[in-house]
Chains A and B, each alone.
Chain A
């Protein structure tokens, strides 16, 4: 009954399989399937296309890849939570060391010191950027990290209401809503005014039923929020202050830890990882040391071995699903180790000086672009709040049409905001990283003038 398939990922030959059956004492491998009810047996081949040889597969997949408008062919000004920062070539070479990428979760620490040490370094670096005491080994992405923060705040404060600014990414807010549905945590959103959270409205929204106050820094529109004021509103009422960050921005911006954040989450994709059409990304999660035992996700800690040598292990594991089960801090079982490794190598390469330069170049070019594009007749900056590397423009013509025309000039001009907020349907969200050249920005301005003129 066995298909005799000869395939490069299957080592055993028909002869070897016959030997193994003999050792087992069975004449037909069908015997192993005897517990499966006969009427549940598939009884036919899977309706899946026949196997492709490697060269055929490459040709097929390449065609799928090449038909997309990607950042190697187009000047990419898209942001909204994913950014085209430069990825140094070293990263790929180190990630492809198979001891890193074919390794398992480090439950046997003696055989996993490479992974464990790099995670400890990652935890340290993110603490430095966020100004927080503890960082976990990573969660899936920024959106799910924010959602986990809401659940954690609920568990810690034993309160139910989650207050979140509408200047937080609408996509991340949808993830928060999905996670809060099970425990039925009511979510109250707070409007923005001129690109930043309306602090009066925030004050009115927070009560002693509030578990968490959540804002984003820089926010979805790229604008800077008043962290101190928001922290005060949260803490006055005993709620936790949660900030969602862009780690690159934190190279020059004030770390939320200094403003009194209780939990800091964020999207780490920009740290040495490609856009990859949305994933896998990197959920940053840090908190104050008093809250460490309520934090979801894995943690790596330093210790010693029998000989007194330094070593690293997964620690505080009893909080996690495989032990605590239904009372676990979360159900999370993987972290995004490889993505976090890329971020760690990136931060090591950039270093103290380089990351500041990436941030400085990004904000410098973004400000230059805001001016250049804002000078196009009929185009204006939508918000007055200070911004970091992203800004919203008001256009005299439909953003979707403008974007299509720009694409013909090999420019991915930005995100049409109407899909997220009807009141902004005449607006475009433009992001600029250190990889955009002045020439590209000038060409964009010129193309835009041509399109709206």
Chain B
């Protein structure tokens, strides 16, 4: 099947224009006469020359090559691909927000500052913390900010940041990566046979050199760490700060709060729990909640209330500084604020209840056909293993590709690392029973196909705009920009591209 296969540069016709600009209304408009020659560009950048019609048609056709939540169920574990309310898009685009310059003086941005201040308070209440910074641009940056705050705390108290951060082996890759940027050594802790943190391993590794313990709750297996209160106590006995990766917050709203579990720091992903759109990879926003003792170290500036006025407070001598040039991804903050005000306390609680029910329903419907490494109730996501299907030569990646043909996006695969051929499924609360039933029917069909017709799975996907892609060629001969030259060609027949997986040595 031949799908649309053009790049915008390939539609270019010399002399064609897509712009509309007024004529110069000032006397001298020639840059060559205004700027020193040494600074002038010799040749214009080779940008496309296309009409507005070309642009609209091209990008509209590109969009139709994507699966999105608005068209497909997205069971990606730990991603919380829930419905993105359109109302929030309108709110973010109000001119009073969209056209507001960040360096406008505080007394002229009271509405924006009030939104930020109120959102910070609402998020603090939801996660049980004393204060929230809205500055981090994404979850990973929230992690970095959180660890830097802990670092500043230890440095301030003890004169040294300490040396290590503990992380469970089921953790998301950003955890050890963020710790490294903050200057720490990452120590991996084993999970026990229940999939929870091995308390003995924790005890063995906890000492006064450990700055923090970073943990996701519920964990990446969808299981709540039942001994969390013990864990936070053990850490605090050594002065170790406990950090919660809030990626799975969708399971906890109105049920329990990180602050009440003993956590000192938590980051939230507004693009997960709080519906801001994923946008094909971003932007996100990763606010960080902290307990009082960490307050002096928050990034600057902090939106602060004085009576009924708001201002940006820069007088924070112990602050870790800035993670972004300005104040945070304000556009995403507006969306999250609108969502929280739309849901109210009952709505937020219902979010988690529905999410947990949906995941357990999937578990019940699929557990006869797929291996369940950790039986027992799950929370908002469930992890299966495609171990059984592997015996027929079908891997998790083949199951994922076949789902694309059956009208679904794939679950997360090969994560967490501690499960062989992992399939991590998070339905979220916004999916209906009918959609979930269709998905389960498809998964069961695939399980049958793995036994009776595995070649169907290995050949998948066949209905998408492209078939399986040669990842090896892409990495061996990186072609990272259009040059007008010939398209890449297969140098040899490709093996099925493998997913990302770390060979742990």
B368 within 8 A of A: no
A303 close to B410 (CB less than 8 A): no
Find chain A residues with CB under 8 A from B278 CB: 101-105
Find chain B residues with CB under 8 A from A68 CB: 96-97, 100, 104, 108-112
Distance, CA A69 to CA B18, complexed state (A): 31
B393 within 8 A of A: no
B223 close to A331 (CB less than 8 A): no
Find chain A residues with CB under 8 A from B76 CB: 104
* B115, B139, B225, B342, most chain A CB atoms within 10 A: B342
Looking at B179-187, B201-209, B448-456, the stretch in contact with chain A turns out to be B179-187
A113 close to B466 (CB less than 8 A): yes
B381 within 8 A of A: no
Find chain A residues with CB under 8 A from B348 CB: 46, 48
Contact of A331 among B103, B105, B144 (CB under 8 A): B144
Contact of B98 among A48, A81, A275, A298 (CB under 8 A): A275
B324 close to A279 (CB less than 8 A): yes
Find chain B residues with CB under 8 A from A183 CB: 181, 183
A108 close to B400 (CB less than 8 A): yes
User: What 1/0 flags go to A284-324 for Cβ under 8 Å of B?
Assistant: 00000000100000111111111111111101111011111
Distance, CA A177 to CA B105, complexed state (A): 25
Find chain A residues with CB under 8 A from B68 CB: 98-103
* A280, A349, A363, A434, most chain B CB atoms within 10 A: A280
B361 close to A23 (CB less than 8 A): yes
B96 close to A66 (CB less than 8 A): yes
A339 close to B283 (CB less than 8 A): yes
B463-505 interface (Cβ within 8 A of A): 464-471, 473-475, 478-482, 487-490, 494, 497, 500-502
Q: A51-B342, A88-B20 are in contact. Are A274 and B98 (CB under 8 A)?
A: yes
B104 close to A184 (CB less than 8 A): no
Distance, CA A322 to CA B174, complexed state (A): 7
A178 close to B18 (CB less than 8 A): no
* B36, B179, B280, most chain A CB atoms within 10 A: B280
B178 within 8 A of A: yes
Contact of A127 among B63, B84, B344, B481 (CB under 8 A): B481
B29 close to A338 (CB less than 8 A): no
A450 within 8 A of B: no
Query: For chains A and B in complex, what number of residue pairs have CB atoms within 8 angstroms?
Result: 731
- Range of interface residues on A (Cβ < 8 Å): 35 or more
Closest Cβ neighbor of B328 among chain A residues: A279
B174 close to A114 (CB less than 8 A): no
Contact of A251 among B44, B110, B345 (CB under 8 A): B44
Looking at A2-10, A158-166, A207-215, the stretch in contact with chain B turns out to be A2-10
Q: Shortest distance in angstroms between B323's beta carbon and chain A's nearest beta carbon?
A: 6
A64 close to B100 (CB less than 8 A): no
Q: Shortest distance in angstroms between A188's beta carbon and chain B's nearest beta carbon?
A: 17
B321 close to A24 (CB less than 8 A): no
Find chain A residues with CB under 8 A from B404 CB: 108, 110-111
A350 close to B19 (CB less than 8 A): yes
Find chain B residues with CB under 8 A from A3 CB: 346, 349-350, 353
Looking at B85-93, B235-243, B384-392, the stretch in contact with chain A turns out to be B85-93
B423 within 8 A of A: no
Q: Shortest distance in angstroms between A78's beta carbon and chain B's nearest beta carbon?
A: 4
B89 close to A96 (CB less than 8 A): yes
Looking at A230-238, A353-361, A373-381, the stretch in contact with chain B turns out to be A353-361
User: What 1/0 flags go to A320-362 for Cβ under 8 Å of B?
Assistant: 1111111110111111111101001101111111111111110
Contact of A351 among B18, B36, B67, B83 (CB under 8 A): B18
Q: Shortest distance in angstroms between A302's beta carbon and chain B's nearest beta carbon?
A: 4
Q: Give the number of residues in B that approach A within 8 Å (Cβ atoms).
A: 215
A47 close to B125 (CB less than 8 A): yes
Distance, CA A153 to CA B285, complexed state (A): 27
A71 close to B347 (CB less than 8 A): no
Distance, CA A183 to CA B151, complexed state (A): 12
Closest Cβ neighbor of B97 among chain A residues: A65
User: What 1/0 flags go to B440-460 for Cβ under 8 Å of A?
Assistant: 000000000000000000000
* B81, B99, B320, B354, most chain A CB atoms within 10 A: B99
A29 close to B353 (CB less than 8 A): yes
B467 close to A276 (CB less than 8 A): no
B50 within 8 A of A: yes
Q: A70-B95, A99-B71 are in contact. Are A115 and B280 (CB under 8 A)?
A: yes
Q: A110-B465, A112-B67 are in contact. Are A105 and B112 (CB under 8 A)?
A: no
Q: A40-B260, A135-B481, A368-B28 are in contact. Are A182 and B151 (CB under 8 A)?
A: yes
Q: Shortest distance in angstroms between A310's beta carbon and chain B's nearest beta carbon?
A: 5
User: What 1/0 flags go to B107-150 for Cβ under 8 Å of A?
Assistant: 01111101100000010011000000000011111011001100
Closest Cβ neighbor of B91 among chain A residues: A61
A123 within 8 A of B: yes
Find chain A residues with CB under 8 A from B184 CB: 182
Closest Cβ neighbor of B74 among chain A residues: A104
Q: A57-B338, A100-B66, A175-B325 are in contact. Are A310 and B5 (CB under 8 A)?
A: yes
Find chain A residues with CB under 8 A from B433 CB: 11-12, 16, 19-20
Distance, CA A336 to CA B138, complexed state (A): 9
A2 close to B353 (CB less than 8 A): yes
B7 within 8 A of A: yes
Find chain B residues with CB under 8 A from A390 CB: none
Q: Shortest distance in angstroms between B259's beta carbon and chain A's nearest beta carbon?
A: 10
Closest Cβ neighbor of A19 among chain B residues: B433
A118 close to B74 (CB less than 8 A): no
Distance, CA A333 to CA B364, complexed state (A): 32
Nearest first, the 8 closest Cβ-Cβ pairs linking A and B are A278-B326, A65-B96, A51-B344, A354-B19, A338-B279, A278-B102, A182-B183, A334-B282
A42-B254, A281-B326 given. 20 additional CB < 8 A pairs?
Answer: A20-B433, A21-B357, A24-B363, A24-B364, A35-B223, A41-B255, A42-B256, A45-B345, A46-B345, A52-B342, A58-B90, A70-B104, A101-B89, A279-B326, A323-B173, A323-B502, A331-B143, A338-B282, A368-B26, A434-B21
The 30 sampled A-B contact pairs (Cβ below 8 Å) are A9-B429, A19-B433, A25-B364, A36-B226, A36-B255, A48-B345, A49-B344, A51-B346, A65-B91, A81-B326, A99-B65, A101-B68, A102-B84, A111-B410, A117-B62, A123-B480, A123-B481, A134-B480, A178-B322, A275-B100, A277-B109, A279-B328, A281-B326, A302-B480, A309-B2, A336-B282, A337-B281, A337-B283, A339-B283, A359-B31
